[in-house]
Amino acid sequence: MAQTLTLLGIESSCDDTAAAVVRLAEGRGTVLASVVAGQTDLHAAFGGVVPELAARAHTEKLDLCVEQALAQAGLGLTDLDGVAVTAGPGLIGGVMAGVMCAKGLAAGAGLPLVGVNHLAGHALTPRLTDGLEFPYLMLLVSGGHCQFLLVRGAEAFTRLGGTIDDAPGEAFDKTAKLLALPQPGGPAVETEAALGDPRRFAFPRPLLDRPGCDMSFSGLKTALLRARDGVMADGALRRQDRADLCAGFQAAVSAVLAEKSRRALADYLALAPADPVFAVAGGVAANRAIRAALEDVAARAGARFVAPPLALCTDNAAMIAWAGIERFRLGHRDGMSLSARPRWPLDETAAPMLGAGKKGAKA
């Protein structure tokens, strides 16, 4: 008999407080409810997410989001089979609030608790939305992360490469800030880029000259700042110059992601998968120019391109509930001593790329 499982998911690792209810029935996952409470306004004045402000907001929103998600699903906690929560990686204050709220829910309702890696949530989403089979290639490209993952199983990930510094989404946000565009930067920069000339400014394509799938985006931000200062007069920037800067910046990010995707696809196709799939997730995958470039690379390599709907591509809790279901089916349960982890690489065997200090790899 096919197993039916219904899990609550909780996510609070960055600047979105989210709760969702997902059900697995007859081998397919269905999102019964998904609530996301963003904090964009809270951080707008600071040009980036302020961890302490985020943690404060999560603490007072989590239970409200859970209530809302349960109401939307028309279910009570007693109708659930477990509680899944993001236990890292991410901003620790928020992750900790989520883990503690989840413990309170699980303890009081007598439900099993499943700690989920936020990145696994993103990486397993195409199985919820498109029923993908393993193995598939995943590009996770968001405000906080950028990596290529070979997804071999619900708990088996191989990192083929990733950013060694900033994530592209972060670069988009910083670009927007430098160019007096609103946050989040992605949509604003994309809109401006459509009006600009991508060839006017020659921005660097970092690490393209090196083999492998690692990327770097922090130099791009510096190059953009220099180019901006070069065309500014008395603190004023012409609208067309801004559009050209945006177009050049977006073209550089797009070119790097496309070329590294081509290499990652080659590595993946060497495994001779029956139905080759290149899946993307993360807010940056919503950028139309970047998505078109990635679709083109996939088509040339003969792989199907899969991008979950935007609401399940950016941070959300349905992906956490789903990843929780996948772990739960493998027999995974966490106890009440579950830790919130600021650093938690999906592929624990890969050499650290980020934050490779004494505390270990960040993601």
Partner 1 sequence: MRPEPLILAFDTSAAHCAAALLSGDRVLETRAEDMAKGQAERLFPMLEEMLARHGAGWRDLAAIGVGIGPGNFTGVRISVAAARGLALSLGVPALGVSRLEALAHGLPRPVVAAEDARRGEVYCQGFGPDTAPALAALDAAPAARAFVGSAAEALAARHGGAALAPAMPLAEAIARIAAARRSTPGPRPAPLYLRAADAAPPADPAPVIVP
Interface with partner 1 (CB under 8 A): 45-47, 50, 52-53, 55-56, 58-60, 62-63, 66-67, 77, 92-93, 96-110, 177-180, 228, 232, 235-239, 242, 335-340
122 marked as binding residue: yes
Q: What span, in angstroms and rounded, lies between the C-alpha atoms of 221 and 172?
A: 9
Kindly tell me which of 99 and 354 has the beta carbon lying closer to partner 1.
Answer: 99
354 marked as binding residue: no
Q: What span, in angstroms and rounded, lies between the C-alpha atoms of 214 and 205?
A: 12
Strand order in the sheet with 277-281: 156-162, 146-153, 136-141, 277-281, 304-306
Q: How far is the CB of 238 from partner 1 (least distance, A)?
A: 6
Q: How far is the CB of 187 from partner 1 (least distance, A)?
A: 17
DSSP 38-55: E-HHHHGGGTS--HHHHH
165 marked as binding residue: no
Kindly tell me which of 302 and 335 has the beta carbon lying closer to partner 1.
Answer: 335
Report H helices in 74-133: 92-109, 118-130
Q: How far is the CB of 319 from partner 1 (least distance, A)?
A: 20
Kindly tell me which of 342 and 352 has the beta carbon lying closer to partner 1.
Answer: 342
Kindly tell me which of 4 and 339 has the beta carbon lying closer to partner 1.
Answer: 339
Kindly tell me which of 63 and 155 has the beta carbon lying closer to partner 1.
Answer: 63
Q: How far is the CB of 313 from partner 1 (least distance, A)?
A: 27
Kindly tell me which of 214 and 244 has the beta carbon lying closer to partner 1.
Answer: 244
Q: Quick one: DSSP state of residue 196?
A: S
Kindly tell me which of 170 and 347 has the beta carbon lying closer to partner 1.
Answer: 170
190 marked as binding residue: yes
With left for phi above 0 and alpha for psi between -120 and 50, is residue 307 left, alpha or beta? beta
Report H helices in 302-337: 310-313, 318-329
Nearest in space to 147 (alpha carbons), one of 173, 114, 132, 169: 169
Q: What span, in angstroms and rounded, lies between the C-alpha atoms of 245 and 175?
A: 9
Q: How far is the CB of 337 from partner 1 (least distance, A)?
A: 5
283 marked as binding residue: no
Contact partners, residue 206, CB within 8 Å, separation at least 6: 215, 216, 217, 219, 220, 256
| Cα angle value 94/99/103 (rounded, 5°) | 150
144 marked as binding residue: yes
337 marked as binding residue: no
Nearest in space to 329 (alpha carbons), one of 130, 75, 112: 112
Q: How far is the CB of 50 from partner 1 (least distance, A)?
A: 4
Q: Measured between alpha carbons, how far apart are the two ends of the chain, in Å? A: 37
Contact partners, residue 356, CB within 8 Å, separation at least 6: none
Nearest in space to 363 (alpha carbons), one of 61, 117, 6: 117
Tokens representing residue 291 in the block: 């998505």
Q: How far is the CB of 200 from partner 1 (least distance, A)?
A: 17
> What single-letter amino acid sits at 330?
L
315 marked as binding residue: yes
Q: What span, in angstroms and rounded, lies between the C-alpha atoms of 356 and 363?
A: 10
145 marked as binding residue: no
142 marked as binding residue: yes
Kindly tell me which of 135 and 324 has the beta carbon lying closer to partner 1.
Answer: 324
12 marked as binding residue: no
Q: How far is the CB of 153 from partner 1 (least distance, A)?
A: 28
Binding residues for substrate: 140-144, 173, 186, 190, 287
Binding residues: 118, 122, 140-144, 173, 186, 190, 287, 315
Binding residues for Fe cation: 118, 122, 315
